[in-house]
């Protein structure tokens, strides 16, 4: 992890470049997978499970026996932890619900807007090097709160054809019963087109590797929406001399261990502080079971020393991090200056880990700079907003002439006439 001292603005793009996806090469692999799943359905999923997951599957869907066994296999403290996280996530996401909006804009003209659940959603849960049962909470809870009619969960099996018990326990806890043993691009394809076992969905959610990400983006060509374009996980920590170097190092490593293509960034005002953090990283990384992954990730990472708050905020907003930790003396000013970030963690006692698991916010967030124009997953992600309008005879008389003039000037005579014939009718029958 290199240190840069006051890099010129013109170099920020190069110095902060995320690991590059070889999109064309990845798509050449993913597109045939989508075609085969579309054509062969379950048969293709079973074939890919053997090829990629090294398991021979008889059934793609998890049965109730497996779910009961999973619950029995989990330690009590993990079940209790999941329940605490569930409670916080439910409470925060339930509070995001918006009441129906009704407004009479002029006499006889009433407009409404209300949230309507997306009917069929697909949740992708990674299960490879780190089975993310926490993502089941983050996606399943808002889907349930929104009232989505059908929820299907896809996650890859292990070599014994089993799903991680924590994933099964968590899914069952929040009422998701359609659980499919399929991962990778093939799972995205199944939810995009539908198979004999996997229902076709309207929107796909969830993180994944570069093949999953590519498949999700290709799915949008077939009328399926996705939560957001996303890349590898990332964190930027903005810290000054009031921060604790050991805390900062731990936060950086918590993201570095996600994957070799993850990226972590430190922004600080002191080269001396940056060196303290890097020393802590060297010591802490050796204690990690995933240290080889973290070390590789650190090769993509950088510590940047900047003189002042204003420049630091400019760089942070330029980078638009997925996770942003702020641990500086000018905390409030720093927080108020951020306009591009997925989720912000404030103060030295707020590690990014709490948002990943149990604080209540959602951990499915925009990466790769998409925080400039995307939000993280929320209750709103699982609903669509429908607007309504109803005019009384009085309302049409009040508003109709305005519409006639505007339609006439746009040379759309049929639009104008749709109003005129009604006004003439009202005049004739008054």
Answer yes or no: is 370 a known binding residue: no
Answer yes or no: is 356 a known binding residue: yes
**Rounded CA separation 217/369 (Å):** 16
Answer yes or no: is 202 a known binding residue: no
**Rounded CA separation 336/353 (Å):** 22
**Rounded CA separation 188/183 (Å):** 8
**DSSP per-residue letters across 276-290:** HHHHHHHHHHTT-TT
Answer yes or no: is 233 a known binding residue: yes
Answer yes or no: is 271 a known binding residue: no
**Rounded CA separation 197/316 (Å):** 45
Catalytic residue among 93, 164, 269, 323: 323
Residue 387 backbone dihedrals phi, psi, to 5 degrees: -105, 150
With contact defined as beta carbons under 8 Å apart, do 406 and 420 qualify? Answer: no
Pairing assessment for the beta strands 225-226 and 234-239 based on DSSP bridges? unpaired
DSSP 8-state secondary structure symbol assigned to residue 240: -
- Other CB atoms within a 10 A radius of the CB of residue 242 amount to 12
Judged by phi (left if over 0) then psi (alpha if -120 to 50, else beta), residue 347 lies in left
Answer yes or no: is 336 a known binding residue: no
**In which element (H, E) is residue 423 found?**
helix 413-428
Q: In what order do the strands lie in the sheet with 225-226?
A: 178-181, 150-155, 120-124, 203-205, 225-226
Answer yes or no: is 124 a known binding residue: yes
- Other CB atoms within a 10 A radius of the CB of residue 19 amount to 17
Catalytic residue among 234, 280, 322, 352: 322
Answer yes or no: is 297 a known binding residue: no
Tell me the sheet residues that pair with 386: 114
**Rounded CA separation 218/203 (Å):** 13
The answer to whether 282 is a known catalytic residue is no
The answer to whether 323 is a known catalytic residue is yes
What are the residues whose beta carbons fall under 8 Å from the beta carbon of 90, sequence distance 6 or more? 141, 145
Residues belonging to the binding site for NAD(+) are 124, 186, 209
Annotated catalytic residues are 322-323
Residues belonging to the binding site for substrate are 233, 255, 258, 323, 356, 410, 415
Residues belonging to the binding site are 124, 186, 209, 233, 255, 258, 323, 356, 410, 415
Residues belonging to the binding site for Zn(2+) are 255, 258, 356, 415
């Amino acid at each position: 992890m290199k240190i840069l001292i006051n890099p010129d603005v013109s170099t920020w793009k190069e110095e902060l470049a995320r690991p590059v996806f070889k999109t064309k090469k990845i798509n050449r692999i993913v597109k045939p997978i989508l075609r085969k799943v579309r054509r062969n359905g379950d048969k293709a999923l079973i074939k890919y499970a053997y090829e990629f997951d090294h398991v021979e599957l008889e059934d793609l869907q998890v049965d109730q026996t497996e779910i009961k066994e999973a619950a029995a296999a989990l330690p009590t403290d993990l079940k209790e932890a999941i329940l605490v996280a569930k409670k916080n996530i439910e409470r925060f996401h339930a509070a995001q619900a918006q009441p129906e909006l009704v407004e009479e804009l002029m006499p006889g003209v009433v407009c409404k807007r209300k949230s309507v659940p997306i009917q069929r959603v697909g949740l992708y849960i990674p299960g490879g090097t780190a089975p993310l049962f926490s993502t089941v909470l983050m996606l399943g809870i808002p889907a349930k709160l929104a009232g989505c009619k059908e929820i299907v969960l896809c996650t890859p099996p292990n070599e014994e054809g089993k799903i991680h018990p924590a994933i099964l326990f968590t899914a069952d806890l929040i009422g998701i019963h359609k659980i499919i043993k399929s991962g990778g691009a093939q799972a995205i394809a199944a939810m995009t087109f539908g198979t004999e076992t996997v229902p076709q969905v309207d929107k796909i959610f969830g993180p994944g590797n570069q093949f999953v990400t590519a498949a999700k983006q290709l799915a949008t060509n077939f009328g399926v929406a996705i939560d957001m374009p996303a890349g590898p996980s990332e964190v930027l920590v903005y810290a000054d001399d009031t921060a604790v170097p050991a805390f900062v190092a731990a936060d950086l490593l918590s993201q570095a261990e996600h994957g070799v293509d993850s990226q972590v960034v430190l922004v600080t005002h002191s080269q001396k502080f940056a060196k303290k953090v890097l020393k802590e990283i060297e010591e802490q990384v050796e204690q990690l079971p995933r240290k080889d992954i973290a070390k590789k990730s650190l090769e993509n990472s950088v510590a940047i020393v900047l003189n002042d708050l204003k420049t630091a905020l400019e760089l942070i907003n330029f980078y638009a991090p997925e996770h942003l930790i702020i641990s500086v003396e000018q905390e409030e000013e720093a927080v108020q200056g951020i306009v591009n970030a997925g989720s912000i963690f404030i103060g030295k006692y707020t590690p990014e880990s709490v948002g990943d698991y149990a604080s209540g916010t959602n951990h499915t967030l925009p990466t790769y700079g998409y925080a400039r124009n995307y939000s993280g997953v929320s209750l709103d992600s699982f609903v669509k907003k429908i607007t309504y309008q109803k005019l009384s005879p009085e309302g049409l008389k009040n508003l109709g002439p305005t519409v006639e003039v505007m339609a006439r000037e746009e040379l759309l005579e049929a639009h104008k006439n749709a109003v005129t014939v009604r006004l003439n009718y009202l005049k004739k029958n008054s």
